[in-house]
Structure 1
């Protein structure tokens, strides 16, 4: 199983800094057999995000794309919009489960607009902005993500 992990943050992108969230997510995926083929920081730009995700999915380079960041209510928070735009099918239960899980810790979870979908045979999931919330959310939904990836690879 192959994965890509992107932090969506224009400030980090401009500063050429790495993401703490991506490192934690990579470790978790590795524990269940994913090979992370691509990882990095991307700007909060719909065209850039769409192009990267489409290329990875359409060339079947990865089975799973995870993003963290740009899921809130600011104008520049575009990760969910891109997932909804490029997906062949949406999986609303995944972000609903993440929000339900995170609401136990903070009411701010209701402001998270994360989305999940399938393009070709690639699962795409937006995770929350903070490294801690992204890590905990991935751990919570990981068995189901593995199941989806396995089903899509049949």
Structure 2
């Protein structure tokens, strides 16, 4: 883990009916925020939304339209439950998928649990923003983020018009 000066901004969204309704306190969002800050990202938002496609799309569209958030982590709603709609909401917003990041997260997760094969997490970009779906559990979200973290800065440099050389 390499700490760097702030060059990129970030936001964290947690998609969870129970956390949104106050039934369960969210631990995933604060953990992701702390980790991003330790890497030098300026985390400007941490929001909890219900497992509702339009709610997720609305927040994502707002964040990407401001053209100021480079990394958007969306935790939760990536499974097979009837209210797991994060991938569909993300696909509605992104312009291009980044399947290599999706595959890397699933591959690494399969070494931990056979249930990782059920993940429908999406990673993609729109404008100057990279949107990453992560599992809802604090442990799963952190494990997945750490898998792709080594490529994050380079991906952001490319998305924001920087040098293509790593």
TM-score (norm 2): 0.88
What is the aligned partner in structure 1 of residue 127 from structure 2? 120
The correspondence for 1:151, drawn from 148, 154, 158, is 158
Which structure: larger Rg?
2
Structure that is richer in helix per residue: 1
Q: Does 1:93 align with 2:100?
A: yes
Q: Does 1:13 align with 2:20?
A: yes
Measured in 1, the distance between the counterparts of 2:56 and 2:115 equals: 25
Contact 1:8–1:67 (CA under 8 A) maintained in structure 2: yes
Measured in 2, the distance between the counterparts of 1:130 and 1:50 equals: 21
Render the CA deviation track for 1:36-86: whole Å, top value 9, x for unaligned.
100021101111111110111121130010011100001210111111121
Contact 1:28–1:139 (CA under 8 A) maintained in structure 2: no
Deviates more, 1:136-145 or 1:95-104: 136-145
**Runs of at least 4 residues off by over 6 Å:** none
Mark the runs of 5 or more structure 2 residues left unpaired by the alignment.
1-7, 162-166
The within-5 A match list for 1:131-150 is 131-150=138-157
- Name the Cα RMSD after superposition: 1.3
What is the aligned partner in structure 2 of residue 55 from structure 1? 62
TM-score (norm 1): 0.95
Contact 1:3–1:62 (CA under 8 A) maintained in structure 2: yes
Contact 1:117–1:124 (CA under 8 A) maintained in structure 2: yes
What is the Cα deviation at residue 18 of structure 1?
4.2
What is the Cα deviation at residue 11 of structure 1?
1.1
The within-5 A match list for 1:31-70 is 31-70=38-77
The correspondence for 2:35, drawn from 28, 43, 46, is 28
Counterpart secondary structure, 1:15: coil
The correspondence for 1:79, drawn from 82, 86, 89, is 86
What is the aligned partner in structure 1 of residue 11 from structure 2? 4
Measured in 1, the distance between the counterparts of 2:154 and 2:75 equals: 21
Contact 1:65–1:124 (CA under 8 A) maintained in structure 2: yes
Task: Tell me the matched-pair count.
Answer: 154
